[in-house]
Amino acid sequence: MVRELGSERKLHCVLLQKCSIINLTNIGETLPDLNWSRGQYRGKIRFVTNEEKAYIAGFLDGDGCVMAQLVRRKDYIYGFQIRTSIVFYQKQTRQEILSWLKDKLNYGYIRQRKDGMTEYTIVGFKEVRETLELLQSFLRLKRVLSKLVLELIRSHPKNMSPKELVRLSYLVDKTAKFNYSKKRTNTSKTIKDFFKHKSFPRRDFKLDSRI
């Protein structure tokens, strides 16, 4: 459970396992100046205590999103890319906590939206996998979704094929059931329809009717 108390910005995380409290009262004073970068920083996750893992997992459960998407890419031979991402949301008046998260996880980028919200986004198989593996045992609301995304990442082949893309697209469909996006247009049906199109070179692909 994550909550903010008063103007002192005391952020508490009630640990379900240890029943202790992490106090980040001075987080606003100890953070460096915010550096808004468009490109994603690809570092290495620093040492994170169990208390901090529980706090970050609670933040992700309450004010975050874990996503897998099928993205149309005309420069890809099979037409689509599977993209995984983790996003934390916070109002711009409290955005310093996102800088603390980025400092701990050492991946991703922070951007300010025009609607008064700020996003901290982590994109990529390696980055998302390491972050979810770090938080998995502390997640509650997003634990099943996290397992599905990890399964998708771990089973992604080095050499993609149409059949593999169709298989993975079904996993993407499963993850979508946990989110509430109204803009989702690419599904497993989209992928199959793409491969059935007469203009697609299908020498290495024959769509199984059971798929």
CA distances (Å), origin 7, targets 22, 40, 94: 18, 32, 11
Asked if pLDDT for residue 62 goes beyond 60, the answer is yes
Instruction: Report the share of the chain in percent with pLDDT over 70.
Output: 71
Kindly state the tokens that stand for 116.
Answer: 């008064």
Q: If you average pLDDT over residues 85-111, what whole number do you get?
A: 96
H/E element, 80 = strand 80-91
Predicted confidence (pLDDT) per residue in 100-135, tens digit: 999 999 999 999 999 999 999 999 999 999 999 999
DSSP letter at 78? T
Tokens 């169709």 -> residue: 166
The pLDDT score that the predictor gives to residue 31 is 40
How many Å from the N-terminal Cα to the C-terminal Cα in the chain?
A: 41
Asked if pLDDT for residue 87 goes beyond 80, the answer is yes
Of 40, 184, 31, 34, which is closest to residue 121 (Cα–Cα)?
40
Domains of the chain: residue spans and CATH: 36-196 (3.10.28.10)
Q: If you average pLDDT over residues 69-73, what whole number do you get?
A: 95
Asked if pLDDT for residue 19 goes beyond 70, the answer is no
Mean pLDDT for the chain overall: 80
Is residue 183 very low, low, confident or very high in pLDDT (cuts 50, 70, 90)? confident
